[in-house]
Amino acid sequence: MFCWLSRLYRGFSTPTGRITHLIQSSLSRTLVLTSQRRIPEFSSFVARTNTCGELRSSHIGQEVTLCGWIQYRRQNIFLVLRDFHGLVQVVIPQEEKMPTGEIEIKVKTAELLNSCKKLPFEIKDFVKKTEALRLQYRYLDLRSFQMQYNLRLRSQMVMKMREYLCNLHGFVDIETPTLFKRTPGGAKEFVIPSREPGKFYCLPQSPQQFKQLLMVGGLDRYFQVARCYRDEGSRPDRQPEFTQIDIEMSFVDQTGIRSLIEGLLQYSWPSDKDPVVVPFPSLTFAEALANYGTDKPDTRFGMKIIDISDLFRNTEVGFLQDALSKPQGAVKAIRVPEGTKYLKRKDIDSIRKFAADHFNQEVLPVFPEASRNWNSPVAQSILEEQRSGLIRLMEIREDDVVLLTAGEHEKACSALGKLRLECADLLEARGLVLRDPALFSFLWVVDFPLFLPKEENPGGLESAHHPFTAPHPSDLQLLYTEPEKVRSQHYDLVLNGSEIGGGSIRIHDAELQRYVLATLLKEDVNLLSHLLQALDFGAPPHGGIALGLDRLICLVTGAPSIRDVIAFPKSFRGHDLMSNAPDSLPPEELKPYHIQVSWPADSEAEKSSLNQPSLPES
Amino acid sequence: MFCWLSRLYRGFSTPTGRITHLIQSSLSRTLVLTSQRRIPEFSSFVARTNTCGELRSSHIGQEVTLCGWIQYRRQNIFLVLRDFHGLVQVVIPQEEKMPTGEIEIKVKTAELLNSCKKLPFEIKDFVKKTEALRLQYRYLDLRSFQMQYNLRLRSQMVMKMREYLCNLHGFVDIETPTLFKRTPGGAKEFVIPSREPGKFYCLPQSPQQFKQLLMVGGLDRYFQVARCYRDEGSRPDRQPEFTQIDIEMSFVDQTGIRSLIEGLLQYSWPSDKDPVVVPFPSLTFAEALANYGTDKPDTRFGMKIIDISDLFRNTEVGFLQDALSKPQGAVKAIRVPEGTKYLKRKDIDSIRKFAADHFNQEVLPVFPEASRNWNSPVAQSILEEQRSGLIRLMEIREDDVVLLTAGEHEKACSALGKLRLECADLLEARGLVLRDPALFSFLWVVDFPLFLPKEENPGGLESAHHPFTAPHPSDLQLLYTEPEKVRSQHYDLVLNGSEIGGGSIRIHDAELQRYVLATLLKEDVNLLSHLLQALDFGAPPHGGIALGLDRLICLVTGAPSIRDVIAFPKSFRGHDLMSNAPDSLPPEELKPYHIQVSWPADSEAEKSSLNQPSLPES
């Protein structure tokens, strides 16, 4: 062990500026107070008696031993010692003096435990640094208040979730393998060569199959804080490895899963935030689309999409007539509160351009009550009767702007849904508070379609979520007649407009599962023969859910990116900027795995230098 | 959700023998008792009110809803329903009858939830099945009492560990990446191709670097239940992925880590086992070798190695003379209690052959007090004075056998250490109880050498554990003069003769770490530049430990293999026999990763069928 010597002055004689030095100080006083033992005990098993941040006037007179980094020092008389818990002022006795502040530490002995080179950036949250620099020196960035807060809150919240699941509700924490095999449609799975030529493991995107097999195995309340992997190439705010709270139960229905999750979030919610109110409201997928134009509505604010088709049945405006004459055609609008006050003409223009570019939708700004108006030939042909109808139906107030569009229901809603969020951002950037920053608005979205038209072949079907999702019991017969109309027993959990979880009741009938996989989805059932066989052996009814932990913690802490709630994240290109992963390997290290690199045609230099055969990528 | 209909008889009409059917029964009676709410609540969020196993006479009169599998049925009148918690007898009312047993369930309604094909084996622990069959149908094997017990105990023990670390001692649970880069000497790391040509991630063998970087980052009490990976090819009772309780602390010494771990095991120990007694005894590496011939002594029984060199200083026996005349030469012996009673002549012969084959050591059986004796020309030349010395020194009793060997200290001890375990197994196989099956005997082993001679080049040095291990403070100066003599601050935790954990105080001084890596170990420091740089920026003194969770749970549950404490283990060849991982992949799925398979020369058929270029393995 290291020795606790009195080497204080060696520490201070090092000629550095704002550099942190690691010291230990052991200190004296006159009055000893007993303080109640705290839970948890941060100073057990080590030589320190207290953390820097916990000292208060109740400690006056106690002899304490502290360990930390020097944050500031002045004239070798005062210094501020820092640890994860806070800062404390330390006085090196020169003469008796007592500066301001509740307490200070009088040094008896101190030891310099390590020196410190000039840091690439100061450990102060207000010092701006690029994210690349932060990731390169992640071990220094972790010293910031914000990163310490985020990671400690994450740990505490996960611990509370475990208590709720294990201790209160009898769930079993079971680790499932990450060296698995390719799943059907698993194109985003990392591959791992094995020592058998041509045989590969894959890193699974979730423990989906394993958790269902655990239900067949009678482990009827499973959970895992599961590491999952998804190779999506370069995507902003995605990580190649991520973590989900993975849950599965037997003999359960949707209501049961929803109560479980509501209780879980309520129990684990940080005490410094407003408590979670349960039950969470829920919308069907159809309602979410109609009201918010998305399956993950941000319900912290209004500005819902209103169907105003009935007002325009007799309109003479051409494109409205057109839209209403088609099947699923509708006129839709959102109300932008105080839009005439906060939005500039060029904002409206860019909003209209956005809708035209991304949704091929014409959007009209209408100013029903405004004194000022902007030229809009079509808007001017809206009749007085329609204007007053709009005011009544949409509860228009002075200065509000209405954004109106027409077209096929889903397309019109999607466009307005996106504009709703864009407008909210714009209004907030201009100073209107639409979304309470302390508000956490949870929402269940249910009754999703079970299938979607296949992207590359719209005649075929693909699973809207995954092929193990059970159909809605009311739609069971449709499965054999009009499968595209079947609703599923899938449910999504949405928080402030982000999807933070999703799950479903699963198919537990082997015949039904075979029918879905082979007949409807045209999948190769051989890849899933173990799962189908397992369902044959008395699989119980079961269902589950997975919560995206990184995203959830990101929302709870208000972090700008999931990289701020992960200790060592990858860059958006999937690089570890600190250690330089992924990295090159000498060819002989690939030999045991029977693979070689296929160098792309344009990297001749690399190829020849490594003596690899040339194989152009097709 | 599924409906709770009264379809009992459909369930029973299926003409199967011992096949399990899944049913739900909802049952009535006359007297309602209130029972105290249990913690944890196994029946929250689901339609059942109780588990099968928890019903007792205190429940008489309650209406309960149960879910489970049919274990037996008799004449459609009685059936036994099973869940993870136990069995309960259910009576389908024909007329009023009351068989023996504390309670039974009278069926009101029942629903068959799923049917079940003929199982490949019965779900009864006494039914023997091969391990291959168990692994192929793992989801059925998991229904066994033993697997349910093992996995549930594992979950509970890990939960208690988390409570101890997080809630009692302020540790922070931090997830570290598994997509990392090759570490020096990481020849056993799986490689993962990335989408950048020639660039690979590696799956780390432990979070060692990350946990040290967390200490530099001020997260001064870290732990993680960490998934680790090691590609060792085919090794019995090893898994390519395994789990460790990974811990690191700042400002700590060996004593602190040891107290932490003793407290951790005491706190998390299952209540149905004898409590753990702390502190654990400790031995230096030198003592462990001298007394037990191994660095992981099984201290549940005696039979220690005794140095009897002094008795034989004047011996005329040639090979003893020889041994004693050499440096480090010694005569060593173990006492086999009641050896003449339990060991047969052929046992002794095979023990001697084993020592000769594996250690090139001659071993003599000596029977100091025995009436019977076996011919042993050398044993007969042991003098009466030596015989009485042996009896005194080794506390020999009638029927004991002494196994005696001579040679270089370490070699003689290693041979006798192995024979000690062999003899214990033999004696126990013959009925002598040497090791109390309820005893858990923990031991710390400390003061290991820091370096060992390099295996492929005995002039060079390699780390006995890893290059970040700090030298023993008393031996610091030897590092620059006789590094091979330096002891380390490494410590191992041993339980019943198995190593279940190991750790060390780390080097926190960048210069010392550079000296060890570059000068002593001749490693390429560029691969570790991020770690060396981190030490330069005020790294605190720190140390840690990792416990092998699979091995620990295996010992606690008494399971014959770590495969019995893992839900979905790989076979000893690294295969998942259930899903058939690892598996082949079509070449186009390898293209995004810029790799191709190098087929070995002897698999021409596979090669040509897949149109791959031939590349013989060297």
Residues 286-345 of B with CB under 8 A from A: none
Per-residue b/e over A30-44, b at no fewer than 16 CB within 10 Å? eeeeeeeeeebebbb
CA torsion angle B272 B274 B275 B279 (round to 10): -150
Residues of B in contact with A166 (CB under 8 A): 40, 155-156, 159
Q: Do residue B192 and residue A509 have CB atoms under 8 angstroms apart?
A: no
Higher pLDDT, B580 or A26: B580
CA separation, residue B176 to residues A114, A205, B96 (Å): 25, 18, 63
Q: Indicate the residue type of B106.
A: K
In this predicted model, what pLDDT tens digit does every residue of A175-220 receive, in sequence order? 999 999 988 766 789 999 999 999 999 999 999 999 999 999 999 9
The H or E element containing residue A249 is strand A241-250
Q: Nearest CA of chain A to the CA of B501: how many Å?
A: 18
Cβ atoms of B179 and A583 closer than 8 Å? no
Judging by beta carbons within 10 Å of its beta carbon (0-12, 13-18, 19+), is residue A357 exposed, middle or buried?
exposed
CA A353 vs. chain centroid, Å, equals: 30
Model's pTM, two decimal places?
Answer: 0.89
pLDDT of residue A609: 45
Residue B98 has pLDDT above 80, yes or no: no
What is the pLDDT of chain B when averaged over all its residues?
86
Q: How confident is the model at residue A370 (pLDDT cuts 50, 70, 90)?
A: low
CB contact under 8 A, B576 and A190: no
Which chain A residues have a beta carbon less than 8 Å from that of B167? 39-40, 159
CB atoms A152 and B172 under 8 Å: yes
ipTM of this predicted complex?
0.89
- pLDDT above 90 for B330: yes
pLDDT in tens, A67-101: 888 887 777 777 888 888 888 888 776 655 743 34
- Is B2 in contact with A200 (Cβ distance < 8 A)? no
pLDDT one-digit tens code per residue, A576-617: 999 999 999 999 999 999 999 999 886 554 444 444 443 333
Amino acid B183: pLDDT: 81
Kindly provide the residue ranges of all beta strands, DSSP E only, lying in A115-220, ordered along the sequence.
Answer: 172-173, 191-193, 199-202
How far B10 CA lies from chain A's nearest CA (Å)? Answer: 15
CA torsion through residues B561, B564, B566, B572, sign: positive
On the CB side of B289, CA atoms within 13 Å amount to 13
Mutate to test the interface with B, among A166, A196, A221, A579 (most CBs of B within 10 A): A579
**pLDDT at residue number A580:** 92
Per-residue DSSP letter, B345:
H
Q: Given this model, what pLDDT does residue B28 score?
A: 32
CA distance B141 to chain A (A): 7
Task: State the average pLDDT over residues B10-26.
Answer: 32
Structure tokens at A100: 């301001």
Q: How confident is the model at residue B377 (pLDDT cuts 50, 70, 90)?
A: low
**Helical ranges in B91-144 per DSSP H:** 131-136, 138-141
Q: Are A31 and A58 contacting, i.e. CB atoms less than 8 angstroms apart?
A: no
Relative to beta strand A22-27, strand A105-114 is antiparallel
pLDDT digits (tens, 9 = 90+) for B338-363: 998 999 889 999 999 999 999 999 99
pLDDT tens for B487-524 read: 999 999 999 999 999 999 999 999 999 999 999 999 88
- B87 CB within 8 Å of a chain A CB: no
Question: Rounded to 5, what percent of chain B is helix, strand, coil?
Answer: 35, 25, 45
CB contacts of A537 in chain B (<8 Å) are: 116-117, 119, 137, 139-140
Per-residue burial over B20-56, b if 16 or more Cβ lie within 10 Å, else e, is bbbbbbbbebeeeeeeeeeebebbbbbbbebbbebbe
